[in-house]
Structure 1
Amino acid sequence: MKYPTTTQGVEIKYRLDEGIFKLARLKSRRNTNTINVTELQYADDNAAVAHTHAELQQSVDNFHAAYTCFGLTVNKAKTKILAQPRPGENPPATNITMDGTTIECVEHFPYLGSILSTQSTSSKEIENRLQAGHTAYGRLSTRVFKNKGLTTHLKKLEQFHQKKLRAIMKIKWNDYVSNTAVLERANVTSIEAMIMKHHLRWSGHVVRMEDTRLPKKILFSELNAGDRLRGRPMLRFKDQLKKSLKEANIDPNTFEASAYDRNEWRNKIKVGTDLFEENRRANLVAKRQQRAERTKQPYS
């Protein structure tokens, strides 16, 4: 049997030394490694990645040939195509086929619990999670939140928005209770602090992975080809990670060394996110006081 040739995929260059935020180090040819990412596998799911239409068609043909060789079949109805263009550009037209069947091209697609979209942003993911929160609250409303015979442990409701916390605690808009006071009554942190905590914990988890793991290589990498647009570009994962580290009062230069010790890293995250939340609430109180003082001043 003649096996089809492999596709080029998405080429990245990476180095696992000298720090994750020192991107200039990737210009060195001697110490920089280059790999082609052609597929991302997880359990029985598989994502094929490519830069061009021709490469993606070849990758799909390769998958179909490999599955057929082992007596397996691909569920064509669940297979989707998602094209992610550069910011400001329209998605390219795609016509990918598998064994004579045209694969549907979609604007967003659920994968591994997240929503991938053509815009390459998290807006669709945030919208989906908010909708899931509304749905979950609606299902529990009668049996839990409106049941006077049950007590509510609000720490289990951290994923809900400020609006849901107010509904659970029966705080109305005309009660004039600030968002900070709602969080204090509920004994939970802000959504921003929650995201920061999970962001830092996941990054530390990837740093502790073996050097052969693909997620670690990607975290320490950048694309080998292509330029970012002029003006203010979209923030990368590493840009937001560096911002989170600074806001949590963690030195980005020693981030990796700290993350290798799991217990030390978790302690730093807790202390850092608690400090961030404390400063965030203090700033909100200060701004509210400033607005109140301005309203008291007479007009000249």
Structure 2
Amino acid sequence: MALISDSYESLSSLLKSLDSSCHHMGLTINYKTKLLAVLPGADAHSPSPISLHPDCDSIEVVPSFQYLGSYLSNNCSMDVEISTRITKASQLHGSLNRILWHQRKIKSSTKLNIFVSVVLSTLLYGLETAVLLEPQIHRLQSFVKRSLRSILGVSLWDGKRDTSIRKIAHLQRISTMLTQRRLRLLGHILRMDECRLPRKVLVCASPQGRRSVGGQRMRWNDLVLRDLRNCNLDGVWRILAEDRNEWRNRIWAATQEVNFKKEEQEKYRKDERKRRCEARQMTSEFALHCSFDGCRFTAVNHAGLVNHQRQKHGQSLTGRCQYCHQTFHQQGLHTHERFCCQRTSTPPI
């Protein structure tokens, strides 16, 4: 049983009323009962333990509590829950290594189906009701990436990207999976009767009061509205959600399109990063190539090029700056010119 109240005094009164009713039926409140204050104000005092009977232990105030397999914290952080989900999924994945993942006689499609139905469902259990941050989603995606590489036998040395691995496994991104689950849950809540508590919470007005300094925490309703905008369903979702099959089909088609766009964006970013890296490498190789005729030496850095020219070609150890015309050692001339060109406006010789 979970008792919810908006103040410490009303919660204490509610607990005492429950204890009195249970006492008449011969029941007692279990010693495992805990008290959790969610998002207390900056000026709020820490709640004290509630004592129901003098001869019984008081109800302890805790910063986090496990309820129905999920961890609830007083600051609404999901770090503990994400770590727990990854730990449980990792243990389950490791228990199937010898009997399933490493068996070559079993098809990869069979392994992936078991991974989705067993490991992935354990990893994403209950997360459609949570508001996750980008680092937390990245942790979930990293675990799925490592698991898929282990199942498919793809090493990091093979040079395959994460987008290619997901395409082979026919899996969406974790962010897309969570979006699809949230929208399906939204449809279930909308089809409930108006007297149900989840429906009341969905359509209720936001509480009035002073906003805290800085950025505001994103609520579940805000996250769902963002998902609806990304899927182009923000104008017709109330009508479509009335029909369950039509709503699921529209969600599937919209999330597939969103997932395709994100995959293409990731491919473009990685291609651009690879192109810039190759351009820098070609520029560096050209700049560190020995300028003497017939010499094909290429140095790793500028100091190696200077030493090569001094030892192999007998080049002078001193040189003159092309900006300030001062004489420097050859190894320090390159560093001096790099800063001297920023200090002076004199054109080089």
Range of TM-score over shorter length: 0.7 to 0.9
Q: Which runs of 5+ in 2 are unaligned?
A: 121-142, 288-349
Pair 1:268 & 2:225 matched:
no
**1:126-275 correspondence runs (5 A):** 126-152=82-108, 153=110, 154-158=112-116, 159=120, 161-250=144-233, 252-275=234-257
CA distance in 2, matches of 1:226, 1:72: 40
CA distance in 1, matches of 2:94, 2:149: 14
How far apart are 1:285 and its partner, in Å? Answer: 0.7
- Answer 1 or 2: which has greater strand percent: 1
Which residue matches 2:20?
65
Aligned residues: 253
Which residue matches 2:6?
51
> SS of the residue aligned with 2:241?
helix
In structure 1, give the amino acid aligned to 2:253. Answer: V
Which residue matches 1:117?
73
CA distance in 2, matches of 1:90, 1:130: 34
2:39 to 85, 92, 108: 85
Q: Which runs of 5+ in 1 are unaligned?
A: 1-45
> SS of the residue aligned with 1:120?
coil
Deviating more after overlay: 170-179 vs 216-225: 216-225
CA distance in 1, matches of 2:186, 2:174: 18
Question: With CA pairs under 8 Å and 6+ residues apart, which has the higher RCO, 1 or 2?
Answer: 1
In structure 1, give the amino acid aligned to 2:165. Answer: V
**Structure 1 residues 119 and 69: CA distance shift in structure 2, 3 A:** same
- Answer 1 or 2: which has greater helix percent: 2
In structure 2, give the amino acid aligned to 1:215. Answer: P
> SS of the residue aligned with 1:48?
coil
Question: Cα RMSD between the aligned structures?
Answer: 2.2
CA distance in 1, matches of 2:272, 2:42: 39
Q: Using structure 2 for the length normalisation, give the TM-score.
A: 0.67
In structure 2, give the amino acid aligned to 1:238. Answer: N
How far apart are 1:75 and its partner, in Å? Answer: 1.8
**CA offsets, 1:36-87, max 9 Å, x none?**
xxxxxxxxxx11122332222212111111212233232222x111122348
Q: Please tell me whether the aligned partners of residues 199 and 241 of structure 1 are also in contact (alpha carbons under 8 angstroms).
A: yes
**1:278-293 correspondence runs (5 A):** 278-293=260-275
CA distance in 2, matches of 1:97, 1:241: 40
CA distance in 2, matches of 1:87, 1:93: 12
Deviating more after overlay: 223-232 vs 285-294: 223-232
- When Rg is computed on C-alpha atoms for both structures, the one with the higher figure is 2
**Structure 1 residues 227 and 70: CA distance shift in structure 2, 3 A:** farther
CA distance in 1, matches of 2:41, 2:274: 41
CA distance in 2, matches of 1:143, 1:218: 46
Q: Identical aligned pairs, as a percentage?
A: 26
1:98 to 52, 71, 75: 52
Q: Please tell me whether the aligned partners of residues 201 and 266 of structure 1 are also in contact (alpha carbons under 8 angstroms).
A: yes
In structure 2, give the amino acid aligned to 1:179. Answer: D
Q: Please tell me whether the aligned partners of residues 85 and 91 of structure 1 are also in contact (alpha carbons under 8 angstroms).
A: no
**Structure 1 residues 238 and 146: CA distance shift in structure 2, 3 A:** same
